[in-house]
Every structure is written in C-alpha cells, then in structure tokens.
Amino acid sequence: MRSLPSLASLLLACQLLPAPTPMAHTLARTPGPAPARCLMVLLPGAGDHIRSFSDERFVQAIRDTGLSIDIASAEATMGYYFRGVLAERLEHDVLAPNRGGHEQVWILGISMGGFGSLHYAQQHPVDGVIALAPWLGDRKLADEIQRSGGLARWTPDPPAPVTKDNYQRQLWSWLHRSTSPGAKAPVIFLGYGDDDRLAAQDSLLAAALPRDHVFHAPGGHDWPTWRTLLHAVLRHPDFTRSCAASPVP
C-alpha cells in the first residue's frame, strides 16, 4: 500500500512537469559569416522559461559586452530535472547541434539552472560555468561537508554513474575533485546575493574557489541581484580573454 501514493505522485508530476523532446531553445548569433568564438548556453531557474533571459535583459547584457558570443537559451524546465534527463537532453538537443565552429562552450544557470549548469559540466566537457545563486542540494549534505571542515577536507564518494539516489553526492564529489590543486576542470564562476536563502550552501563552494571567481552583491534570490552579478562576471579578465572577438595572447 505504501507504493500507491508515490505512484500517484509520480503520475501527477509527469502531467504537471512535462519534458518535451527535443528540448526547445533559441539561438542569438553574433553578426558575421562564422560562429562566434564562444557558445553560451543559458539555463533558467524553477518557474522561469526560455523567454526569461530576454525579459530580464541577460541576453542584452551579454550582447553589450561586444564579446564574440553566440547565446543559446534553453527551455530547461523542471520536468527534465524530475525525470533525470536534463544533461542528456541538453547535450542532444542544444549543445550537439550548436557546438560546431565554436572555440569554447560556457554554461550559465540561475538558481535551479545553476545546479543544472554544474550537473551538465560534471558529465560533459565545457570550458566554463557561471552559476548564479545555484541550488546545490539538501542542507543535510551541506552540513556534513561543513562538519568535515569544508569541501577540501571532505571525503568525496568515488566517481559513479549519476542516479536519482546519488546525484547530490556525486555533484559535490565532482566539485571536490574539480577544485583540487592542479585539477583539469572547467573555470567556475560563482555568484550569489548576501541575503540569498541559498547562501549557506553556496558559501561552501565559494570557499573552495579562487577568491576572484566568487561574486557577491546586496540582495536576495531575485533577478535584480542576478543582473548585478552577471555584469560583474562578464567583466572578469578570464572571461573576456576567453570570448574576445580576437584571441588575446
């Protein structure tokens, strides 16, 4: 009898949280005959949609930098996370058709999309991740890492296929390896508001990153704060060097 409520919940969630195949996306190309140097994929948070990045002026802010960036906004809604197919659909439907011709691939996500950006980078090669106010899992796991003395001192799980039961521990284990000295890993930029409700978990990752790769701004878990953080990240020399119209020595 215990299985009946969970089955009912599963069926209800499948109806309310669809995950269409293929995953929809839009592509805003830099003017010119060839692809831009960088492809940046944008992942929305829970409750947001493909149009949110245009409505909230993220696409325009990236355009205004004058950098060589093609921008793919993905309709990576909660249904893909619920079914455990986010990384698979992103790769097949968004990255694979658009990756060709670009020198670098960057993933930018906010809130749940911030988790998605790291979750994808854990499983597929990318050059950089911009995670703004990312959800990083349950507080219980964060407390375990904190009691260990932080991410660097925490004992990670060995690499394993990602499942619905281990995805949080596998993500933090990958972050542990990726932030270790000398690790071959994508650049990670992390930003969050000083009053963000996810700041406690995010601060654990922040402590393991280079100081200049962590960005703070007054505010909470909202678009005005994320816009401020975005503008700061887009000015970082490591990012501008990566996506400049002409390679920088």
Whether pLDDT at 2 is above 60: no
User: Looking at residues 4-19, what average pLDDT do you find?
Assistant: 54
- For 128-176, what is each residue's pLDDT tens digit? 999 999 999 999 999 999 999 999 999 999 999 999 999 999 999 999 9
Whether pLDDT at 216 is above 60: yes
Residue-level pLDDT at 47: 87
Look over the chain and give the mean of its residue pLDDT values, rounded to a whole number.
92
User: Looking at residues 25-48, what average pLDDT do you find?
Assistant: 92
- For 175-189, what is each residue's pLDDT tens digit? 999 999 999 999 999
Can you tell me the distance from the alpha carbon of 228 to that of 1, in angstroms, rounded to the nearest whole number?
50
Can you tell me the distance from the alpha carbon of 207 to that of 156, in angstroms, rounded to the nearest whole number?
16
Residue-level pLDDT at 1: 28
- For 66-118, what is each residue's pLDDT tens digit? 999 999 999 999 999 999 999 999 999 999 999 999 999 999 999 999 999 99
Closest to 159 in 3D by CA, of 139, 178, 184: 178
Residue-level pLDDT at 36: 94
User: Looking at residues 214-226, what average pLDDT do you find?
Assistant: 97
Q: Going by C-beta distance under 8 Å and a sequence separation of 6 or more, which residues neighbour residue 207?
A: 150, 151
User: Looking at residues 116-124, what average pLDDT do you find?
Assistant: 98
Residue-level pLDDT at 11: 44
Please give the residue that has the higher pLDDT: either 63 or 11.
63
The least confident of 2-11, 94-103, 189-198 is: 2-11
Whether pLDDT at 212 is above 70: yes
How much is the pTM?
A: 0.92
Residue-level pLDDT at 247: 64
Q: Are 39 and 106 in contact (CB under 8 A)?
A: yes
Whether pLDDT at 33 is above 70: yes
C-alpha dihedral, 96 to 131 to 75 to 167, nearest 10°: 80
